[in-house]
Amino acid sequence: MRELKSPAFIATAIIGLIVILLAPHVLELNTVFNLTVYAIMAILALSLGLVWGMGGILSFGQTAFFGLGGYVYAVAALNFGDSTPALLVAIVIPIIFAAIVGYFAFFGRVSDVYFGVISLTMSLILFNLINSTSGSGYRIGNAPLGGYNGIPSVPPLNLPFDPANALDFEGMFLAAALILLAVYLGLRVFMKSSFGRIAVSVRENELRAELLGYDVRLYKLGTFCIGAGIAGLAGALYASWGSFIGPSAFSLSFAAQTIIWVLLGGLGTLIGPIIGCFIVQFVTMWLGETKFINPNIALGLLFLVSVMVLPKGLAPVAQRVVSTLQRRGTAS
């Protein structure tokens, strides 16, 4: 694991830790509260950055795993009374779901574009399904599914195996931000592993990878499942943060948002999706407060511009700016 020892990696880890630990002391509680949801969404963005950006899999319905994770967490936490096993099943169930969908798609050799459409469709079907579960008949143990009203009063995260000690706002921020940092660093290491390298090669040239003796279906399935687990984790954190999860997690507009995050930030990088996510969320929040323009108009324009003008996203542009500055710096 050379990546673990690289200076850039260690520096990122240390700076990340310092920023996260300092933030609650420096910032207002309200800002910390908002930053928590930014961090949670950034975890979701990372999952799509992995599956789409690194693995080349058009997972347009990545939010389905987020929503699934949120719902599974809500139901499990309401039934178990402890968030620790709930968090675990909220990761496992989306993985299983992804394994089933991915098995059909990848082993059936469905084309990549069809897969994109199918995965989005899957999310929309879940949207319809959950929407129609209103009424007392639809409940799992102690948890009513609530249809279009969603599940309110989802239990917050608690210290591991200690339900009496629920996390407060600050604790929730630390949990979300540290998990984001861990997922980001973990994925960096993962991308340098054999599996990660092969996953990227499958994105670059599927036939060649196959002719070298790699079963590309397995690598796609693996990447897809890992992404689903991360998205499920993000969904669980989201449900515990706002103590609510609703069917809008499966909606078309939310799916579109995650796509914009990754597209704007830059495909094929891990930091890009995080940056894109923060920018877009900030813009939508600002629009929501100022009512300057309908958020859908802004997002739609941003989306169109990203595709037509910035097909590689902001991250490569930023990298070019940085390297030009560096070159000028060394030249002068």
Nearer to other proteins, 156 or 273 (CB): 273
Token digits for 16? 């990340």
Residue choice 8, 26, 308, 331 for contact with other proteins (CB under 8 A): 308
Part in contact with other proteins (CB under 8 A); list of ranges 86-94, 114-122, 148-156, 227-235: 114-122
Part in contact with other proteins (CB under 8 A); list of ranges 84-92, 167-175, 176-184, 259-267: 259-267
Query: How near is the Cβ of 120 to other proteins at its closest, in Å?
Result: 7
Q: Specify the long-range contacts of residues 88-93, CB closer than 8 Å, at least 24 apart.
A: 90/232, 90/233, 90/235, 90/236, 91/229, 91/232, 91/233, 91/236, 92/229, 92/232, 93/68, 93/69, 93/232
Q: How far is CA 320 from CA 8, 209, 266, 317, in A?
A: 18, 30, 13, 5
Residue choice 8, 28, 213, 289 for contact with other proteins (CB under 8 A): 213
| Residue 142 binds other proteins, judged by CB under 8 A | no
Residue choice 208, 320, 321, 326 for contact with other proteins (CB under 8 A): 208
Residue pair 229/95 in contact by the 8 Å Cβ criterion = yes
| Residue 319 binds other proteins, judged by CB under 8 A | no
Q: Rounded to an integer, what distance in angstroms lies between the CA atom of residue 88 and that of residue 10?
A: 28
Query: How near is the Cβ of 320 to other proteins at its closest, in Å?
Result: 15
Residue choice 19, 22, 129, 325 for contact with other proteins (CB under 8 A): 129
Residue 286: how many CA atoms within 13 Å on its side-chain side? Answer: 8
Q: Rounded to an integer, what distance in angstroms lies between the CA atom of residue 307 and that of residue 300?
A: 11
| Residue 323 binds other proteins, judged by CB under 8 A | no
Cα distance between the two ends of the chain: 37
Residue choice 104, 148, 161, 286 for contact with other proteins (CB under 8 A): 104
Nearer to other proteins, 47 or 306 (CB): 306
